[in-house]
């Protein structure tokens, strides 16, 4: 059994990771860490876990010592030092935060106002989007788990762009996320009475996942891709829906587009390309590691509309982290991630 440690276990992503690992056939939660709730059992924070995970939150160093792999669910900027400690201790590391996602330090400086403290760690870090970069993740020791939107949008667009069937200019990624994406800390705009019956855009055109999406699509296509990304906050708990718009290339047909997606994703367990006539819905992937994708065409304007749906806490965070762990340790890639999404 792989011993897994979770630093930042009391945040939503950390707690979800504990839930997923608890059902994993080849791994187990060895230790949980939290600064804010040190000394408290995790089930005091999350009563749903009562008697199922009553482990007490301890300090980071203890988590590292007890684990073969350390997952970090920390605010931006706090993972670099932890990654260094893990490397020193010879432990695998999966960062669920943003510290190791951007490969170009100037991007990190621009968008996160931070710098690369240990450049060699950044060199070593692998970007953990398995469906696009599986080969690099296998056997890796330091994996940067992608952002939630930065998983949904590139998965929706990659096959069309890679095959040259859609223009890499003028792309619009209009996304909506459930509220768990903004974390466990109560705020005014996530107070039930304020979010209920609400929908609004935020960080329109300036969200930090933008350069991450562009980096991924650049890696896939081999050329610069720019897109306009606007996220919205939804009154639901879980889920990201990404509605992506790209102009079809001259002469390209939807048959070709569909074939490109089937070629790319046909054997992927976690990507479900929906039959024509269906549309991806966040409801259908809840609590699962699936990413559903549906393809639509606006014939009048020649626009490809690719819609992806995933659970921001699973494929957008903890589930993908487990998928990455499976690849890092040579386990079955789907291990611990095969539970059916509930129908309602």
Nearest approach, Cβ of 23 to its own copies (angstroms)? 6
Position 239 contacts its own copies (CB under 8 A): yes
Nearest approach, Cβ of 300 to its own copies (angstroms)? 6
Rounded distance, CA 22 to CA 111, Å? 35
Comparing CA positions, the residue from 5, 17, 6 lying closest to residue 317 is: 17
- Tell me whether residue 89 or residue 339 sits nearer to its own copies (CB atom): 339
Position 336 contacts its own copies (CB under 8 A): no
Distance of alpha carbon 252 from the chain centroid: 30
- Contact with its own copies (CB under 8 A) among 78, 85, 305, 329: 305
- Contact with its own copies (CB under 8 A) among 56, 78, 259, 297: 297
- Contact with its own copies (CB under 8 A) among 1, 38, 89, 204: 204
Looking only at residues 211 through 230 of this chain, which bind its own copies when binding is defined by CB under 8 A?
Answer: 226-230
- Contact with its own copies (CB under 8 A) among 37, 76, 221, 237: 237
Say if residues 255 and 204 touch (Cβ distance below 8 Å). no
Residues in contact with 85: Cβ distance below 8 Å, sequence separation at least 6, in sequence order: 60, 61, 64
Position 190 contacts its own copies (CB under 8 A): yes
- Contact with its own copies (CB under 8 A) among 186, 222, 250, 251: 186
Q: At what angle do helices 105-112 and 209-221 cross, to 10 degrees?
A: 160
Position 307 contacts its own copies (CB under 8 A): yes
Position 197 contacts its own copies (CB under 8 A): yes
Position 241 contacts its own copies (CB under 8 A): yes
Residues in contact with 266: Cβ distance below 8 Å, sequence separation at least 6, in sequence order: 273
Say if residues 179 and 234 touch (Cβ distance below 8 Å). yes
Position 267 contacts its own copies (CB under 8 A): no
Please provide the distance, in angstroms rounded to a whole number, between the alpha carbons at the two ends of the chain.
33
């Amino acid at each position: 059994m792989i011993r897994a440690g979770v630093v930042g276990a009391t945040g939503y992503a950390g707690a979800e990771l504990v839930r997923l690992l608890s059902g994993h056939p080849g791994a187990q939660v060895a230790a949980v860490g939290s600064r804010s709730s040190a000394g408290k059992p995790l089930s005091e924070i999350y009563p749903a876990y009562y008697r199922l995970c009553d482990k007490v939150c301890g300090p980071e160093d203890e988590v590292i010592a007890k684990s073969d792999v350390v997952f970090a669910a920390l605010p931006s900027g706090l993972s670099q030092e932890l990654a260094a400690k893990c490397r020193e201790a010879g432990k695998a590391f999966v960062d669920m935060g943003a510290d190791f996602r951007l490969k170009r330090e100037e991007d990190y400086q621009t968008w996160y106002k931070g710098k690369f403290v240990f450049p060699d760690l950044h060199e070593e870090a692998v970007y953990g989007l398995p469906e696009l970069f599986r080969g690099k993740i296998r056997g890796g020791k330091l994996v940067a788990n992608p952002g939630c939107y930065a998983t949904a949008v590139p998965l929706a667009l990659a096959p069309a762009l890679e095959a040259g069937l859609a223009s890499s200019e003028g792309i619009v990624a209009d996304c909506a996320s459930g509220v768990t994406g903004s974390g466990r800390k109560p705020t005014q705009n996530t107070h039930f009475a304020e979010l209920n019956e609400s929908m609004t855009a935020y960080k329109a055109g300036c969200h930090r996942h933008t350069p991450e999406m562009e980096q991924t699509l650049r890696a896939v296509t081999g050329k610069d891709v720019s897109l306009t990304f606007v996220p919205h906050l939804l009154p639901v708990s879980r889920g990201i829906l990404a509605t992506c718009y790209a102009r079809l290339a001259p002469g390209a047909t939807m048959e070709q587009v569909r074939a490109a997606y089937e070629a790319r994703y046909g054997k992927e367990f976690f990507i479900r390309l929906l039959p024509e006539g269906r549309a991806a819905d966040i409801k259908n992937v809840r609590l699962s590691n699936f990413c559903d994708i549906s393809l639509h065409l606006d014939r009048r304007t020649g626009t490809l509309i690719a819609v992806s749906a995933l659970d921001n806490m699973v494929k957008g965070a903890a589930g993908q982290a487990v998928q990455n762990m499976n690849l890092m340790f040579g386990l079955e890639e789907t291990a611990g991630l095969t539970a059916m999404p509930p129908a309602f």
